[in-house]
Amino acid sequence: MNYSKVEECIKTILEEIGEDSKREGLLKTPSRVAKSFEFLTDGYSKNIDEILNDAIFREKYDEMVIVKDIDFYSLCEHHLLPFYGKIHIAYIPKGKIIGLSKIPRIVDVFARRLQVQERMTQEIADTVEKYLLPRGVAVVAEGYHMCMMMRGVQKQNSITTTSAMHGIFKSDARTRSEFLDLIAKRI
């Protein structure tokens, strides 16, 4: 990322909205925003193969594996405002399992981009399916969108839920229901 170019753009935005970019509280804002955007969009620079780091293992386990309540933070590609929430991921292995810490890392790769929740949900499911070739993958994302909460319709308590179901989670209602029941339960 070209920091000086991004900083100059932020300075221009500040001035165009009527601010004095030279006042004390805003002097370092362009630099802070540039660093923030680099962090919030670092998913573009991540490589799934490197993140997985050979943490896929042969295992005979063939029951549902769920990692739920994975926090995510992303930026809406339409307004550049944050959206955040929880993601729940399940898969039914067919000879391969993945190191559990890799699942939230996959989430971060796709969340740390300019996104829409629908695409992010699908990208996560597609990636788990591609690398594990399981009997099925299920992903549910629940998000709070600041573009709906702070502006526009201003509905602060609205939650957007998206899902992606592959394999047995799509074709078998009982498997899908078991997953949905398990992610709804709180320990």
The per-residue pLDDT for 136 is 98
Query: Considering 9, 19, 129, 147, which one is annotated as catalytic?
Result: 147
- Indicate if 117 belongs to the active site: yes
- Backbone φ and ψ for 156, nearest 5 degrees, come out as -70, -20
Please report where in the chains the tokens 């933070």 appear, as a residue.
73
pLDDT tens across 51-89, in order? 999 999 999 999 999 999 999 999 999 999 999 999 999
Question: CA 88 → CA 83, 110, 123, 130, 163, distances in Å?
Answer: 16, 14, 14, 18, 9
Rounded distance, CA 54 to CA 48, Å?
10
- Indicate if 166 belongs to the active site: no
Structural domains in the chain, CATH included, are 3-40 (1.10.286.10), 51-184 (3.30.1130.10)
| Position 1 confidence tier, pLDDT thresholds 50, 70, 90 | confident
Give the largest CA-CA distance in the chain: 63
Between the two ends of the chain, the Cα-to-Cα distance in Å is 43
Query: Considering 76, 115, 123, 142, which one is annotated as catalytic?
Result: 76
Rounded distance, CA 38 to CA 164, Å?
28
Of 9-18, 101-110, 129-138, 154-163, the least confident:
154-163
β-strands 65-76, 114-115: how paired?
A: parallel
Question: What's the rounded mean pLDDT across residues 150-177?
Answer: 95
Q: Is 26 helix (H, G, I), strand (E, B) or coil?
A: helix
Answer whether residue 133 shows pLDDT above 90: yes
The per-residue pLDDT for 128 is 98
Query: Considering 117, 123, 142, 166, which one is annotated as catalytic?
Result: 117
Class of residue 21 by CB neighbours under 10 A (exposed 0-12, middle 13-18, buried 19+): middle
Return the CA Rg of the chain.
20
Model pTM?
0.95
Whether 76 contacts 83, CB under 8 Å: yes
Q: Which of the two residues, 157 and 85, has the higher pLDDT score?
A: 85
| Position 186 confidence tier, pLDDT thresholds 50, 70, 90 | confident
**Contacts with 29 (C-beta within 8 Å, 6 or more apart), sequence order:** 10, 14, 21
The per-residue pLDDT for 152 is 86
- Indicate if 77 belongs to the active site: yes
- Indicate if 9 belongs to the active site: no
Answer whether residue 187 shows pLDDT above 80: no
